[in-house]
Structure 1
Amino acid sequence: MIKKFGLAAGALLLAAVLTACGADESSPQDAPQSTRQSTRQSTSRAADPGVGHVHGLGVDPATGTVYVAGHYGLFTVEGGTLRRVGDRDADHMGFTVAGPGTFYASGHPSAEDIADGRPPHLGLIRSSDAGATWQQVALAGKADFHALQVAGTRVYGYDAQTGQVWRGEGATLTPEARLDLLDLGAGTGRPGTVYATTPDGVKISTDSGRTFRLLKGAPLLSFLDVTDKDGLIGVAPDGQVRSSTDGGATWKAGGRLPMQAVAFTAVSAERLLAASMDGTVYESTDGGTSFTTIHQP
């Protein structure tokens, strides 16, 4: 899917390359969608492998706890230290917080589960107990969502295998447009409006992901989130924060991360989380003007 783009677009896709774990699995067989995801113990490992590559970030609104999703499972940030949630070490390629204690994820089962015959793609899974356990929602064994976004009761996902955007309501997911992208953005205020960061620039869909067009005047961004009805905030390939208060008509530059972001989320217009290639997690409480380190490997 990676083509010959310009230097800036190449930087945009660098994060996608770094997060493309498990892209060479063979075609999976279908799996029962009602199956609870494995809670295999990690005691067979000599030591906990840690988070590995960071793929997603979020905050549980019920507790304010920061969550880090990575190659070897889900973790919380507590006093600068990552603490594993539950006993799973699945590869959470996609992760998003939907509400208090409610998360969505995707990716791949643990290596042990794949060796035991489990299909190598999780499809869409959901947790209602802050990541302690997970239940299957849809597309088990079929989809590998590298980007997930919730807009009210609607879920959007990007399947990295096929380059297809999916739109979900409950357990029903519908395939929509195909395009190259790294991140999706959508919000409760306009659930039918979806943004995508692509090598060509930010694209927008106003028909729930069926079609996309370039958002004129938008800067090249790696990640983008919707903060309210007209608020957008994202980070460029060089780490600079860019924001808009008018739906993307005009943009202003903010602060800059010390390294390129491989994961980013806007908890609100003021509170931002980002992770860099080396696994460092940063937080801003002033809308991206400045960042502090909340975890460093």
Structure 2
Amino acid sequence: LISACSSKDESASGPVQLKSGDTIDHMHGLTYSNDGSIYIGTHEGMISSKDQGNTWSTVSSYDFDFMGFHTLSNGDMITSGHPGPKTDLPNPLGVMKSTDNGETWDSVALLGKIDFHIMASDYNNPDIIYGLNQMGEGEYGAGIFKSTDGGQNWEKIEPKGLPEDLHKVYGLIALPDYENTLLAGTENGVFRSDDGGKTWVMHDSERFITAFSVLPNETKDLISYSITKDDAAVMISKDDGVTWEKLGLNLDQDAGNYISVNPKNLEQIIVSSFNNSVFVSEDGGQNWNEVIKAGALN
């Protein structure tokens, strides 16, 4: 099944350079790669920048709707979502993986069965992957799914304690130093699970976290876009999300939905927003440059 469902458009002519004013529809994940390039999964394919968002190009001919786009700590990319009109694959995509920064994608599991809108992985063991399916019933319906073998096999978990409507969950992260501990950012606050997502308790009722990531530093601190009654900004935590220190970027009526830090330069941080804007910091989050405004390239 895996080998038969590899997807590649042999007619592809290579990356296409995008122009100022070109628009991006619905961003569903972003990352810095291990070489410091930026990748964004969108509704109609993937784009990349090698110069901190000053110029952009398409990555390949894949026209996937890259839902749940996420990068493992070993550099592999995973995604779920839907095939585009040029992609001859069942809908939804289940779990796809790329080992060459999005140039090619292979089906790993659940093809035609699941569309994960949120995916997360264990930083210390990238074979442990979590997927959040927010809708539907039955074997492949709403719930948290866990894989311990790189995405080939999945166990469905019925999470107890999270909001019943899983659309209220905006972010999911595995704490690097605790193999079965997760945090979930929801409309009702931040929840914590210490048993791999089976049971959840309130961790921080005063905070709404809309985006999570792990800082690729020695201590593997957490970084998030965090909203409280007093402030909203990119924040870091050095104690597994108990306390948070503000860096910057208050987006007011907007909010960050994805965040990533350059493993080659920890001063470089990228954030996308629900309004399809993208912001890059070169100084550890103190100052920010808007490189994509409401979906339009600068």
TM-score normalised according to structure 1 size: 0.76
Mean Cα displacement is larger for which, 120-129 or 229-238? 229-238
Correspondence for 1:72: 44
Equivalent pair of 2:175/2:183 in contact (CA under 8 Å):
no
Structure 2 CA distance for aligned equivalents of residues 242 and 135 of structure 1? 35
Shift of 1:194: 1.1
Identity among equivalent pairs (%) = 28
Q: 1:36 to 1:50 in 2, by over 3 A?
A: farther
1:160 corresponding residue in structure 2: 134
Please list, as runs of the form range in 1=range in 2, the aligned pairs for 1:42-81 lying within 5 A after superposition.
Answer: 51-61=24-34, 63-79=35-51, 80-81=54-55
1:212 aligns with 2:206: no
What amino acid maps onto 2:246 in structure 1? A
Give 1:91's aligned residue. Answer: 65
Structure 2: tracts of 5 or more residues without a match: 136-140
| Aligned counterpart, 2:260 | 266
CA distance in 2, matches of 1:55, 1:154: 21
Shift in CA distance, 146/244, structure 1 to aligned 2, threshold 3 Å: same
Matches within 5 A, 1:278-293: 278-293=275-290
Q: Matches of 2:12 and 2:65 in 1, distance apart?
A: 13
Residue 232 of structure 1 deviates from its aligned partner by: 2.5
Q: What is aligned with 1:39?
A: 8
Cα contact 1:217–1:249 (8 A) shared by 2: no
TM-score, normalised to structure 2, is 0.76
SS at match of 1:130: coil
- Cα distance in structure 2, aligned partners of 1:187 and 1:54: 25
Paired AA for residue 39 in structure 1: K
Equivalent of 1:233 in 210, 218, 223:
223
Q: Deviations over 1:222-243 (max 9, x none)?
A: 1122337673321135752233
- TM-superposed CA distance for 1:92, in Å, is 0.3
Q: CA shift at 1:283, angstroms?
A: 1.8
- Structure 1 counterpart of 2:148, from 161, 165, 169: 169
Preserved contact between residue 95 and residue 105 of structure 1 (Cα < 8 Å): yes
Residue 275 of structure 1 aligns with which residue?
A: 272
Match of 1:136 in 2: 107
Q: What is the RMSD of the two structures over their aligned residues, measured on CA atoms?
A: 2.8
Instruction: Measure, in 1, the Cα distance between the counterparts of 2:220 and 2:32.
Output: 22
What is residue 145 of structure 1 aligned with on the other side?
116
Q: Which amino acid aligns with 1:249?
A: V
Q: Which has the higher helix share?
A: 1
CA distance in 2: counterparts of 1:158 and 1:104, whole angstroms: 14
Deviation per CA, 1:5-32: give whole Å up to 9, x if none: xxxxxxxxxxxxxxxxxxxxxxxxxxx4
Residues 7, 106 of structure 2: 8 Å contact kept: no
Task: Give, in angstroms, the shift of residue 265 of structure 1.
Answer: 1.9
User: Deviation of residue 87 (structure 1)?
Assistant: 0.7
Aligned residues: 259
What is the alpha-carbon distance in structure 1 between the residues aligned to residue 75 and residue 210 of structure 2? 27
Structure 2 residue aligned with 1:182? 170
Whether contact under 8 Å (1:177, 1:212) holds in the other structure is: no
Change (3 A) 1:285 1:128: same
SS at match of 1:221: strand
Aligned letter for 2:65?
Answer: D
Which stretches in structure 1 are left out of the alignment for 5+ residues? 1-31
The one-letter code of the counterpart of 1:219 is: R
The 1:262–1:42 alpha-carbon spacing in structure 2 relative to 1, beyond 3 Å, is farther
Q: CA deviation at 1:119?
A: 2.7
